[in-house]
Structure 1
Amino acid sequence: MADPHAGRLLFHRDGESAWNMAVDQAIAESVSGDAQSGSARPYTLRFYTWAAPTLSLGYFQSSGDASPRFDTTKRVRRSTGGGAILHHHELTYSLTVPSSAGEHGARTDLYRGVHAAIINALHRQGIDARPHYLNKTPAAPPRAAPTLAVDEDPFLCFQRRTDEDLIVSGYKVLGSAQRRFKRSLLQHGSLLLRASEYASELPGLVDLTSIALNPETFLTRISEEFEALSGVAFQSDVLSAAEATRADEIVASRFGRSDWWARR
């Protein structure tokens, strides 16, 4: 996964639900456009938190399946697959990388690279995390992390298990999904820091270990660990003016619209 370019590191605190999703798409479109034009925009690693508790549906999920217990939360539909996520006490990340023309399918190396960096950063905090596939028997068939596909899994993502999910004390604390654009790939995921009152059955790191993480300190450690694994040196940056404008357009045309939420 080595890359000679410096990467961009972004942190957005307490973003609105539609804006959080729109910024990921705007960055992916920007990286894709640069790749098509022959300019090599570097990897963009973004971390963000949420302004209010938010239920995000996977792309293929039915809005009618959402439990009434989430009626008072914000809501948004993601552009990636997988189960619903209650974004509350968590740190969300996205990694956007350029891709070659004709490239398709999931990038398992990205799943494992980012998750390995998070494992290493957690170990520095005294937290033992490991990918789910290490807990499986050798005869068990591999299962890819979620893409744009639907299955019969539980409604909430953190009640599901895929090979690359991170497990602490038997509970899933991190899951990720990918989506391809013309010449870029977006991977984003959620690290559960502690349980939400809206989904108390899903414990986070502080519930499982009594160790509380400072999001800003921890994202720096993750970027350092990913740099050590990938060779990409991340430097703090901000959205370009074009990306910010495009994000606002995407909020208005997609993620902020009630018909996008209710499309299924």
Structure 2
Amino acid sequence: MFDTTKRLFAAFDVYHDTVPHSAAMNMAIDEALLEYATVPAIRFYRWHSPALSFGYFGKFRDVVDYVSTRDLVRRWTGGGMVFHGEDLTYSIVIPANDTVFGASSASIYEKVHRALVDALSKIGKCAVVARGIDPGGIVAATRTAVTVSGYNCFANPVRADVMI
């Protein structure tokens, strides 16, 4: 991934946080990375207990039923509900002064995810990019190409989500 991603970004920092954190701490670290990053960065991390993160515009009433079984945290980004447990999560930060920042978020999302799929393939993992409206004409796998459980955070993947 890093070779492909380096072609997208002039410089790129990688952080592998080996200590699992609470949901609140993981979001705080991501927010601090965004505030202080001077070059694009990717952070890989884990959760110390089951958690549910929901997007900035999400409603607490939509997640309140999980308060007794999961840590709840609001992400400072958009998106829907994401169930976390044993998953390896990653976040990508792109400072506003980076040249890539001018591209559409959908374009960046897809390019980074295609690089991730390439990297996973190189280590023998089967991953695909979810199908959706693909203006670039790139052939992508359909949802039926992968197994999706009911609690998978991407049970309803959007275009360019990575499916393993």
- Whether the TM-score (by the shorter chain) exceeds 0.5 is yes
The aligned residue for residue 74 of structure 2 is 77
The aligned residue for residue 117 of structure 2 is 119
The aligned residue for residue 144 of structure 2 is none
The Cα shift of 1:67 comes to: 6.2
On the 8 A contact 1:58/1:80 being kept in 2, the answer is: yes
Aligned pair count reads 140
The structure richer in strand per residue is 1
Letter in structure 1 aligned against 2:23: S
Distance in 1, matches of 2:163 and 2:152, equals 16
Moved over 4 A (4+): none
- Could you tell me the TM-score, scaled by structure 1's length? 0.46
- Could you tell me the TM-score, scaled by structure 2's length? 0.70
> Gapped runs of 5+ residues in structure 2?
1-6, 136-150
Distance in 1, matches of 2:46 and 2:152, equals 19
**What does 1:9-28 correspond to in 2, within 5 Å?**
9-12=14-17, 13-28=19-34
Q: 1:44 aligns with which of 41, 44, 47?
A: 41
Letter in structure 2 aligned against 1:112: E
Deviations 1:166-190 (A, max 9, x none): 234xxxxxxxxxxxxxxxxxxxxxx
| CA separation of 1:128 and 1:65: change in aligned 2, threshold 3 A | same
Identical amino acids, percent of aligned pairs: 31
On the 8 A contact 1:84/1:156 being kept in 2, the answer is: no
Secondary structure of the residue that 1:133 maps to in structure 2?
coil
The structure, 1 or 2, with the larger RCO (C-alpha pairs under 8 Å, 6+ apart) is: 1
On the 8 A contact 1:82/1:157 being kept in 2, the answer is: no
Q: 1:59 aligns with which of 30, 53, 56?
A: 56
Distance in 2, matches of 1:97 and 1:25, equals 12
The Cα shift of 1:126 comes to: 3.1
**What does 1:94-133 correspond to in 2, within 5 Å?**
94-100=91-97, 106-133=104-131
Distance in 2, matches of 1:137 and 1:116, equals 13
The aligned residue for residue 163 of structure 1 is 159
**Max radius of gyration: which structure?**
1
